[in-house]
Amino acid sequence: MFPTHRPRRLRASPAIRDMVRETHLRADDFIYPLFVQEGATKPEAIAAMPGQFRHGIDSLKKEAEAAAEAGVKGLLLFGIPKVKDEAGSGAFAEDGIVQQAVRALKEESLPLSIITDVCMCEYTSHGHCGAIRNQDVDNDPSLQMLAQTALSQAQAGADIVAPSDMMDGRVGIIRAVLDDNGFENVVILSYAAKFASAFYGPFREAAGSAPQFGDRHSYQMDPANRREALKEVFADIEEGADMVMVKPALAYLDIIREVKDSTDVPVAAYNVSGEYAMIEFAAKAGAIDRDRIIAETLLSIKRAGADLILTYYALEMARRLGKS
């Protein structure tokens, strides 16, 4: 009989499609990145990321409550300080904006993990992710700044610290400093394979963190490299990373799969600001079916192997899943 195979049998009705579906999105998959701005009294819209805001502490709390209510299990906080300086001192100040935000959120005892981004670029006047020497980021002095930042975030109550700077050796030193100070249970989610990507453009507008000279190619990875991504991932796991991240997600789905198949730790993927902006602006132009594109995009990242997805759609998608 021809055709020998009839795969369409398993697509004939919603019921059978539901039965054989291989990948499912759940609210638990999502981590919600949020911006918090020092001194802000009301949320300020981010032009390059329609629907996202620079929050003050009050609106941050409300957004966190909504996320918890919808079943999201993690928030990732980015701070925007009032003043940036050469040393990025706002990153590790005891009363820094992220430290204040973490304390405020921990008071709420929400059923979700508070994750802090460990990096210098939002806090330095030059917009680079560490200390500068000869117009480049100097690796080893930067490690001290990063470790101090992670420690101050843990002291404020962060459950998970997420170094996103791409300096060599940061995971090891952060683990050691946390352990030495009694924070051996604080989790490290490392941005292990973070590529030097144009997809971070809208984020840099949001956080005012674009480099004032040069670019990030001497520390973030070359988008052309797959095997090097594994080298970075293995190094971070060996240094103590509990979870690893691939970033961005969509142009790097092959890397997500590779990392998933090669490791035994949870793998996260970051559906970054440029990926978000492309959907939002294409939808505003009437070119795409926004809601279906969002679901298909997130599903593709999960199918590629991500256990966790950092996405600005976390709250919206968790709500949608809850209703379905």
Binding stretches for ligand PBG (CB under 6 A): 117, 119, 121, 129, 164, 200, 203-204, 272-273
Minimum CB distance to ligand PBG smaller for 189 or for 304: 189
User: Rounded to the nearest whole angstrom, what is the least distance from the CB of residue 121 to ligand PBG in the complex?
Assistant: 5
List the beta bridge partners of residue 136.
Answer: 133
User: Rounded to the nearest whole angstrom, what is the least distance from the CB of residue 128 to ligand PBG in the complex?
Assistant: 9
HSE-CB at 278 with a 13 A cutoff on CA atoms is: 14
Residues in the chain: 324
3-state secondary structure of 213: coil
Minimum CB distance to ligand PBG smaller for 32 or for 183: 32
61 catalytic, yes or no?
no
Chain centroid offset of residue 13 CA: 37
User: Rounded to the nearest whole angstrom, what is the least distance from the CB of residue 208 to ligand PBG in the complex?
Assistant: 11
Minimum CB distance to ligand PBG smaller for 59 or for 164: 164
| C-alpha angle 245-112-59 in degrees, rounded to nearest 5 | 100
Are the beta carbons of 131 and 145 closer than 8 angstroms?
Answer: yes
Q: Helices in the chain by DSSP H: which ranges? A: 14-20, 57-70, 97-107, 139-156, 170-180, 201-207, 227-239, 253-262, 273-284, 290-303, 314-323
User: Rounded to the nearest whole angstrom, what is the least distance from the CB of residue 117 to ligand PBG in the complex?
Assistant: 5
Q: Of the residues 42, 61, 73, 194, which is catalytic? A: 194
Place of tokens 């006047």: 125
User: Rounded to the nearest whole angstrom, what is the least distance from the CB of residue 306 to ligand PBG in the complex?
Assistant: 15
Q: Of the residues 84, 247, 260, 302, which is catalytic? A: 247
Assigned token pair, 278? 């492309």
Of 45, 143, 51, 33, which is closest to residue 92 (Cα–Cα)? 143
Minimum CB distance to ligand PBG smaller for 69 or for 87: 87
Contacts of 238 (CB under 8 A, 6+ apart): none
Are the beta carbons of 199 and 227 closer than 8 angstroms?
Answer: no
User: Rounded to the nearest whole angstrom, what is the least distance from the CB of residue 52 to ligand PBG in the complex?
Assistant: 9
Minimum CB distance to ligand PBG smaller for 69 or for 316: 316
Minimum CB distance to ligand PBG smaller for 68 or for 272: 272
User: Rounded to the nearest whole angstrom, what is the least distance from the CB of residue 230 to ligand PBG in the complex?
Assistant: 21
194 catalytic, yes or no?
yes
Of 66, 89, 116, 115, which is closest to residue 316 (Cα–Cα)? 66
DSSP class of residue 7 equals: G
Of 110, 108, 132, 150, which is closest to residue 239 (Cα–Cα)? 150
Chain centroid offset of residue 262 CA: 21
Minimum CB distance to ligand PBG smaller for 10 or for 47: 47
Q: Which residues are catalytic?
A: 194, 247
